[in-house]
Structures are given as structure tokens and as C-alpha cells.
Amino acid sequence: MIITTDLKKHLEHEITNASCVWIASAMISLNGWRFLQRNIPESAFQFFLIGIDLSTAPSVFEEILSKPEIGARVYEADYTYHPKVYIIKKGNGELAAFIGSSNTTSWGLEKNVEMNYQIHDQNECKKLIKWFNSLYANGYLVTPDFVSNYKTKYAKYSIRAKANEEAGNAMKMDITKDKGQFFSSNQHAVFAEKFHYIQNKELLEIRRNVKNRFIELHEAIFPQFSKYGITDLHCHHQSRERVSRHYFNQFSGNYVNAIWLHYGKSKSHLVKYPKEKDQSFINHARIQVIIHEDNIGIWLVLGKDWGSQIDRDYFRKEMLKSSVRKQFYNILINLDDTYWIDYKGYSLRAWIKDIKSIKDLHNITLKENIKNYFIIGCNIDWLDSRLSVKNISTTVLEELRNLYPLYEIMRHK
């Protein structure tokens, strides 16, 4: 059926009974967004693939941020992202779709002379969902950083964009670009605070992909440890635990704020401890590669909070020896300026470049507390060329080599 005006009426009739919707729109206005949210049932799954070439309203992205249960991504094309596709799955499983020229705006949905076509053929609708999902997989998550940067550019270019569609190309966001990095922008963005407690299919899939990338990284670097002088640093003896969990569970508090690949003591070392809790890999000193929203951290972690009592006691006793304090200090000050020591749960950080004496360093180590993690590490910006597909293995190996001598001093033998 051809629809030339008032797509809104026909769309409303379909979406009020929807169990799932997929909408690919080159432009969404706030009025268009609110029309959809008023009429789509709260129980329905929603997926949006939104363009910014034609200046989608920043307020739409702000509302998306407030509703993390909605699946929404930004799409950038080399030229212009221009589709207007509405696909609806109704409660009885029947599919319907609209394709045509109407953007999700008041003008596009009810005022302009447009050309849209309604499709009821189930096979054709399934093909449209497949098309949508293929683009959606390459879309970018809507994060607070994206919205902040987008608002700035929108204010600068929106007037020009209204006058000339080509000016909308200036809205393209560097923040959404994957610049050949080993971890994609979505694989970082999933660790934004707004997603920490959100568990849905698409976020689970992204987190699973992060874990798989870490496994790839492990397989690339672990065989090279001895070449870098790393002779007694081991992956977890259970392969499923080499990378931290990517899914919610009661032991992690039902949230995921980071995923990491970690190395520490061997199983043969751990089983020598008489207490079961002291045989846990995570309760000992480790070196980890950890992903966050905007960086990759390479950290030497002295146990976890309320953990690694054995390593902590051993390290304190070793630091009573002047020769060990001197050795530890000399290794530490040769790290570059990006390294720091967090010694009280991320709240107190000492930059290596600011530690001027052995005494200063010893005083810092004395402040570590069993209640908190104790970390020596660096964070590398996610867009740094050192984290590209080509360079990340060498980068991680070099930083592990830098931290390994400190690990050897800190770990209980």
C-alpha cells in the first residue's frame, strides 16, 4: 500500500500492538521520538539506528541515555546515512514494515508530501530485519561522551545543516570512529557507567566480544613471555577464568564495569598454601590488562580489596630491608611519566614522576590497606596508536616487561 501523506496515522496503528520494533531513520526530531515512545508498548523491545548527517536533535540522544533498556545506535556512512525504515512485529508474531522517504519528524510523518510503502509480505519483512541487523552491528552505542560532543557540534553546525543538507557532513563525529584499534569504540563504550547494571542481549554480545578479543590477545602474547624476560608469570590454570566474567553473576554484584586479562601465580605455587581461600588466583598479586570506557589499563594489582593478605604482609616485610627499598625505587622511577600508584581505592594516586625519594615511596607503600586494591599501573587512551591491531601485542608485552620486576619483589615466594 502506498502512503503519500500522514504516515503517522498508519504507523501508530501498527506500533500500539508491537512486541518489537526496528527503526532506521536518517533523522529523528524530539517530537518524532516522543510520538514513538507514547505509542510503543513499554513491554516491547525497541531498536533504533539513527543518523546524524541530517542533524538529529541532541535531546533525542539525551532521552535515549535516560532509557538504557532501549537499543539505540548511531550510524555513520562514508557519505550520507539516509534510510527511513520502520519494521514492526506485533503481539501475534505478524510482521509489517514501512519504507520510503519519511524521517521521524513531525513534518516527515504527517505534513510533507512523502512517498512510503507498507509491506505485509512476511519474507520481505524478514529481509528488512536482516538488513537492519547488518547495519546495526556496525553502529555506535549512545554514550554520555558522544552526546556531550554531539551537542557541541550540533550548536555550531545545525543552522548550516538546515540550509544545506551537505553541511550535515560536518556533524560527523570523530568520537564514533574506529581507527584501526584492537578494541572497537563499542567495546569500550559498553563500560560507560550508564551500562554497568544493564543486562540485555546486545550488551551481553558486546561484552562477550570483548572477552573473545582478550583471548585473542592472550594467544598472541603469552607464547612470547620468555622472549621478554617474563619467566614466572602464569595465566589462570582454568582457561575459562583467564579473562574475567563478561556476564552478570551474584559474585560480581550483578554488574560489569570492566573486563580484564590477568596473569599471576601458577597452580603449583597456589596449592602449597594450606587455606583454601589462599589458593584462589584472584587473592594474589597479578598483572592485568583491563578495558574501560576510554582506555586500556596495564596494572600490577596487589590482590583485591580484602584480599592477598599473604602478598601484602610479605611485601611490607621486604620493604623493611634497605636494599629492597632501593631496588624497588630504582625500578619504579624508570617507568615513564604515565605510571601511577593507587594506594587507597582509587581515591589517592601518586604519580611516579612526583616520587622524589626512597623514603617518599616507602611512606606511600605503608599507606596501602587491606580494604582496598593496591595498584601500580598506567592507562593508555583507547585511540592511541599503540593500541591498534598492529601494535597492541608489542605494547602490552613491553608494559608487562616493565611491571614484571616489581611483581617479583611484591609477590610472596
For residue 97, the enclosing domain spans 2-176
For residues 152 and 285, the model is more confident at 285
Instruction: Give the model's confidence band at 1: pLDDT under 50 very low, under 70 low, under 90 confident, else very high.
Output: confident
Q: Which residues pair with 351 in a beta bridge?
A: 340
C-alpha radius of gyration, the chain, whole number: 26
Pair (205, 316) in one structural domain:
yes
Q: What pLDDT is recorded for position 129?
A: 97
Averaged pLDDT for residues 171-198? 79
Residues in Cβ contact with 35 at an 8 Å cutoff, skipping those fewer than 6 apart: 8, 12, 104, 106, 109
Residues in Cβ contact with 306 at an 8 Å cutoff, skipping those fewer than 6 apart: 370, 371
Last residue of a domain, one of 128, 149, 176: 176
End-to-end CA distance of the chain: 76
Pair (190, 271) in one structural domain:
yes
Averaged pLDDT for residues 107-131? 92
Q: What pLDDT is recorded for position 266?
A: 96
pLDDT in tens, 299-354: 999 866 667 889 999 999 999 999 999 999 999 999 998 999 988 765 568 899 99
Pair (169, 190) in one structural domain:
no
CATH of the domain at 286: 3.30.930.20
pLDDT in tens, 236-263: 999 999 999 888 876 666 789 999 999 9
CB 287 within 8 A of CB 299: yes
Q: What pLDDT is recorded for position 154?
A: 82
Task: Domain count for the chain, please give it.
Answer: 2
Averaged pLDDT for residues 259-273? 96
Last residue of a domain, one of 176, 206, 225: 176
Pair (140, 254) in one structural domain:
no
Pair (65, 107) in one structural domain:
yes
Pair (300, 380) in one structural domain:
yes
Residues in Cβ contact with 130 at an 8 Å cutoff, skipping those fewer than 6 apart: none
Instruction: Give the model's confidence band at 165: pLDDT under 50 very low, under 70 low, under 90 confident, else very high.
Output: very low
pLDDT in tens, 76-94: 887 788 999 999 999 999 9
- In the numeric block, the cell 608494559 is attached to 399
3-state secondary structure of 35: helix
How far is Cα 104 from Cα 112, in angstroms, rounded to an integer? 12
Q: Are strands 84-90 and 349-351 parallel, antiparallel or unpaired?
A: unpaired
Question: H/E/C letters for each residue in 78-120?
Answer: CCCCCCEEEEEEECCCCEEEEEECCCECHHHHHHCCCCEEEEC
Pair (161, 213) in one structural domain:
no
Residues in Cβ contact with 42 at an 8 Å cutoff, skipping those fewer than 6 apart: none
CA geometry: angle 41, 202, 182, nearest 5 deg: 155
Residues in Cβ contact with 224 at an 8 Å cutoff, skipping those fewer than 6 apart: 393, 397
Pair (169, 250) in one structural domain:
no
pLDDT in tens, 2-16: 876 778 899 999 999
Last residue of a domain, one of 152, 176, 200: 176
